Amino acid sequence: MSTFTEIIDRAGKDSIAADVASAIAGGSLGPTDAVVREGFDPIPMWVADMSFATAPCVLCALRERIDHPCFGYFEAPQRYYDAIIAWHERRNGVHGMRPEHIAYENGVLGGVASSLAVLCSRGDKVLVHAPTYVGFTKTLKNAGYDLVASQLVPDEDGVWRMDFDDMERKIVENDIHAAIFCSPHNPTGRVWERWEIERAMEIFRIHDVYVVSDEIWSDLLLDGHVHIPTQSVSEDACNRTVALYAPSKTFNLAGLVGSYRVVYNDWLRARLDKEESLSHYNSQNVLSMHALLGAYSDEGMAWVDELTSVLSENARIAYEFFSALPGVSVARPQGTYMLFVDCSGWCRGHDVSIDDVLRSGVEVGVLWQDGRPFGGEATIRMNLALPTSRLHEALHRLDEHVFS
């Protein structure tokens, strides 16, 4: 198996990450008048997919399936469910998951929308944490719900924490009965400790708030951090939570589209099954299924361990670079491959705007993401899932041309 240090930057033939013109024009990189200057090759560090080739075990599973030349209607076999159950048992210590608890989702955000359609009425308020993943923001607004954000607060060590008093106050004041919980958290990279999840879920129990837990990043744990499944902290949490997963972030499979939910509550599962049957869209792709089967294997497990070692080192390098800059605030990610950077102090100290900072980075080929849609007035989100040599090059360009 090739090591990640040997893998070159492969954004993919159809990757939006490498489509510089569209990314700039769409505003994802900040100012729409930014231009990559001559002599600087683009380094994609914005949208949340990786500049690493997909795991060999996934490619092998896809090739094996393609060698069979029929692609008709199908149903997921028992081994699909067995693979998911075994993966969660080995990685997260989950016991008692059965095939009937698992159902396909046509993307995690599709699962969020379907879940809220069961749990809410149009116009209801839904609790989220801020900074907030922009996918949640767009999905909720498009579906007719109002977001109520509870701000995460850095503690004395710079670790992002939930403000439990604020959460409870906003639940009561806004008559909230549904919340989205992101674990690990995007964009801050927090991996919640058990006591944090327990306290949050106790608040949700007291106020009868159902939870949609996005755990798509649960395999990408840095520096030895451990993922605690939301449903595992209590019997009540098990029964009031829709948990959403996918191999897409872990194995660079977003273009294949293939997610799944885990629901233990019989009533909730029946309502979700009915809701998702109404659109006739929620059907799995046979290649997506076989990609999961290849990913959720012994080889896939070893590949993830290698990946997270590289990502941990990248997170350390990026954190040390940005934390040394005066006026820049950043927390070291504990999971995911995203870095959330607050440049407000830098901008004030140098009399520049965040648009100036973003533009200057893009001009030297650093395709980082405007963080303001996630939260904050001068924030940037950066994707660290690229070869370490490319990360060093990106930070060198920023040091020479942006933060000099």
Per-residue pLDDT tens for 372-383? Answer: 999 999 999 999
Q: Which of 48-52, 368-372, 380-384 shows the lowest per-residue confidence on average (mean pLDDT)?
A: 48-52
What is the average per-residue pLDDT within 127-140?
96
- Mean pLDDT over residues 338-347, rounded? 98
Q: Is the pLDDT of residue 6 over 60?
A: no
**By CB neighbour count within 10 A (0-12 exposed, 13-18 middle, 19+ buried), where does 398 fall?**
buried
Six-digit token pair at 393? 């090059």
Nearest in space to 221 (alpha carbons), one of 309, 295, 294? 309
The chain-wide mean pLDDT, for the chain, equals: 95
pTM above 0.85, yes or no: yes
3-class secondary structure, 66: helix
CA distance 395 to 404: 12
What percent of the chain is predicted at pLDDT more than 90? 94
Specify the range with the lowest mean pLDDT, choosing from 12-16, 169-173, 347-351, 379-383.
12-16
Helices (H) and strands (E) in the chain, counts: 15, 15
pLDDT of residue 13: 74
More confident residue, 10 or 83: 83
pLDDT at 5: 53
Q: Of the ranges 242-256, 273-287, 322-336, which one carries the lowest mean pLDDT score?
A: 273-287
- Report the candidate in 255, 197, 196, 232 with the shortest Cα–Cα distance to residue 48: 255
8 has pLDDT over 80: no
Domains of the chain: 20-50+300-400 (3.90.1150.10), 69-296 (3.40.640.10)
> How sure is the predictor about 353, in pLDDT bands with cuts at 50, 70 and 90?
very high
Average pLDDT over residues 66-95: 96
Query: pLDDT at position 15, please?
Result: 86
pLDDT in tens, 207-265: 999 999 999 999 999 999 999 999 999 999 999 999 999 999 999 999 999 999 999 99
Q: What is the pLDDT of residue 4?
A: 57
On the question of pLDDT at 7 being above 70, the answer is no
pLDDT band at 280 (very low <50, low <70, confident <90, very high): confident
Q: What is the pLDDT of residue 12?
A: 62
Q: What is the pLDDT of residue 121?
A: 92
Answer whether residue 10 shows pLDDT above 70.
no
CB 211 within 8 A of CB 201: yes
Neighbours of 238 (CB within 10 A): 19
pLDDT of residue 1: 41
> Distance between CA 107 and CA 302 in Å, rounded?
25
- The rounded distance, in Å, linking the Cα atoms of 224 and 219 is 12
| DSSP 8-state code for residue 336 | S
